[in-house]
Structure 1
Amino acid sequence: MAKKKVTPIKSYTLKSNGELRYEFPAYLGIDQLTGKQKRTTKRGFKTRKQAELALARIKLAVANGSYHQKRAETYLEIYELWVKQYEKRVEESTYVKTISIFKNHILPAMGTYKIDKIHVDICQKHVDEWASKLKKFRIVKSYAAKVLDFAIKRGYIQTNPFTHVDLPTNISKKYIEVVEDKVRNFYTREQLKEFLACLRLENNFKVFALFLLLAFTGMRRGEALALTWNDLDFTTNEIRINKALSIGKNNKLYIKPPKTGLSRTIEMDDNTMAVLKEWKKKQQQDYLKLGINTDKPKQLVFSNEKNEFIQPTKLRKWLIYIQKKYKLATITTHGLRHTHCSLLLEASANVTEVQDRLGHTDVNTTMNIYAHATKKAKKEAILKFSNYINME
């Protein structure tokens, strides 16, 4: 009886569609640097015959000393090497945003290019394309260039053609519209009062308390959603901001330090703290009916029906609903942060105090928001100038 041939080739099933694929382990010879054996696994073959042929070729190449592992050649292959290192150096939420930029803009344009064939004219072409349709095209260009910088460090190329690209100076109509929208991303004092009054009419005290908090603290959305009751001091009327909710891989929510990495404690007004205290009591009552005990220090101030993190995008949906229902001026959730900043400065608050309250590391960030956020300030500026000159 003939002995059954043992083969290293095995089959497996793709989780995505259930299709059958084949793989095999392979010996690649001795690593000249370490003196150790080199082994790898080759997979993805659609038929056993393809796998057998590939294995035979590798064995022959290893035997005659001609086998060399494939070296990255395309922009996509270099990106895949770079992104593994990049993931280790940045916050998870930053990593998610970055791969989104590559997936949506950079890889569709440059992924198939041979890395050593990319020249300045190719880079200029794509920068011009990004500039014609993206407000933040400079960021896209910067990330695209990082991969080529990585290629230089790894010896694939000598220079980065992106360093010789001319950034477009012409601003498209779409870009102008986006900038104008950004200028309007705030509420005046009267608009804010109207917005909060409309929220009061809704039968959702949690949403009212949340948006009141955003408007009267200037907190970032993630900071508000990460608050726990032990972060609030009802005796001193203070709120400690030491964490933020963020979106990571696969849309998983997780807690991280605030954007600047620094904690801050802000003072609050009596009315807002009274609303939050009322919400705390109502939260205990409402959630108790669901069989959930919220009477614990690390209880989230704002949570969903399962007493888990609220999806950050939910705030945008609530905001749009209120704005449409009551025909209010349109701003984003972040616009309430801009509103808080501009109205504080309108109320003659000290710039440094506003900077600390909002958690800005640079005072210019505070002033830039104020500069584009309020018409009243611009009118008062010329009145102050006119009164100072006093031409009468």
Structure 2
Amino acid sequence: MGKPRQKANGEGSIYYREEIKRWVVSFYGTDGKRKYRKVKTKREAQEVLRQALQQRDEGMLPTGPQQTVKQFLEEWLETTCKPPALRASTYVKYQKLIRSYILPALGRYQLQKLTPQHVQRLYRQKSDDGLKPKTIQSIHGVLHKALDTAVMWNLVARNVCDRVKPPKVPKPEIQPLTMIQAQELLSVAEGHRIDALLVLAVTTGMRRGELLGLRWTDIDFQNRCLHVRRTLDYLAHYGIVVTEPKTTKGKRKIELPDFVVEKLQQHRVRQLEMKLKAGADWKEEGYVFTGLQGGVLNPRYLVKLFKKVLKEAWLPDIRFHDLRHSAATILLSMGVHPKIVQELLGHEDITTTLGIYSHVLPSLQKETMEKWDIAFGHESGKEKEVN
């Protein structure tokens, strides 16, 4: 029973090893080296051999060196993801997900022996530990991307993540301000060092990083517009990082209402006064929104200042990003066409805009139908009840 039964024309062999109580599958890979697989049943051995020969014939059989998941992912991070190959923020995110969650659970396994069950068990464990579905979805995303590369490098025959389902991510609950709340926020912020920044956030829906990356050369006072050309963020172990917007739509021109232009002009005067006060300590980098001595305004400190203004205005404790949602919701409620809102926010596709702000559309549909009644001289339901 222990002697290999060789098939013709290099088709491989199947034999039983009594000492280990396993069936052994033996075949030659595309690199000319003999490969072995050990399984429990003869039927399973026949299926393994069939798949192996098919993959070999299709050029899909792994031929790379044996390595652990840890060895592969660390090499993948350094050779494929490190800036400038990817944005610094993306690299840091991938690095954190891999080192904090994936390697402790899967790093010890041989890459070619990683199974869907191993990955599914990781997701289940993290879910039981209370990790948010969005974070588990991110773990799935980076592992799937890495294993796609492993398939491309011919290190594995398939991406096991294709056979795994991460938890569904519930639609995020956004907390936009109403028009009245937005007016109250800007009223309380009047004269505050970030009042012009908040006015821009509420009226244009610009992201935090886009606001902080804005330079005076990006503002055209004569034509009353500005250009979004970069984004600024703080990353652990990297510090302040300035990059281009993620998408082509992210680079955009935004028309400004008169009161916003005036607010920016007032802000510029105050900044010049701060510069005179700081003297030689002022760090000139051309940013619209700066620290007390020039340079950049730290994103984390901006959030701290924003929370302070919210508290003074007796408004809900929302995220800074909710100002972007507030801008979109208010604009849509004012009847601004969704396509204009998409361009203003810098969404790559209008379906993104409609998907996020679909909750606003039912009320707009009602208003549209009422306009039809008015256009054809028909009394609305409300008017009938009053009469």
Say if 2:218 is the partner of 1:231.
yes
Match of 1:361 in 2: 348
CA offset at residue 153 of structure 1? 3.5
Match of 2:203 in 1: 216
Distance 2:175 2:184 in 1: 16
Match of 1:144 in 2: 143
CA offset at residue 326 of structure 1? 3.5
CA offset at residue 294 of structure 1? 7.9
1:217/1:340 contact within 8 Å kept: yes
Aligned partner of 1:147: which letter? A
Rate the CA distance shift 1:152–1:379 in 2: closer, same or farther, 3 A: closer
Q: After alignment, is 107-116 or 148-157 more displaced?
A: 148-157
- Equivalent residue in structure 2 for 1:75, among 69, 73, 76: 69
CA offset at residue 83 of structure 1? 0.8
1:244/1:257 contact within 8 Å kept: yes
1:244/1:258 contact within 8 Å kept: yes
Rate the CA distance shift 1:324–1:248 in 2: closer, same or farther, 3 A: closer
Distance 2:309 2:95 in 1: 33
Distance 2:335 2:159 in 1: 49
> How many residues are matched?
307
Distance 1:306 1:348 in 2: 42
Say if 2:96 is the partner of 1:100.
yes
Aligned partner of 1:75: which letter? V
Say if 2:85 is the partner of 1:89.
yes
- Write the deviation string for residues 200-223 of structure 1: whole angstroms up to 9, x where unpaired: 2xx63x211111111111111111
Per the normalisation by structure 1, the TM-score is 0.70
Per the normalisation by structure 2, the TM-score is 0.71
Match of 1:280 in 2: 268
Aligned partner of 2:302: which letter? L
Q: After alignment, is 76-85 or 158-167 more displaced?
A: 158-167
- Write the deviation string for residues 115-156 of structure 1: whole angstroms up to 9, x where unpaired: 233212111112333455323222311211233333334443
Distance 2:307 2:297 in 1: 17
Aligned partner of 2:365: which letter? A
1:225/1:245 contact within 8 Å kept: yes
- Equivalent residue in structure 2 for 1:349, among 333, 336, 347: 336
Q: After alignment, is 146-155 or 208-217 more displaced?
A: 146-155
Rate the CA distance shift 1:271–1:75 in 2: closer, same or farther, 3 A: same
Rate the CA distance shift 1:235–1:386 in 2: closer, same or farther, 3 A: closer
Q: Any idea what SS the aligned residue of 2:203 has?
A: helix
Name the % identity.
27
Match of 1:135 in 2: 133
Show structure 1 runs of 5+ residues with no match.
Answer: 1-70, 170-174
Show structure 2 runs of 5+ residues with no match.
Answer: 1-64, 374-379
Match of 1:264 in 2: 252
Distance 1:354 1:348 in 2: 10
Match of 1:196 in 2: 186
CA offset at residue 341 of structure 1? 1.3
Match of 1:381 in 2: 365
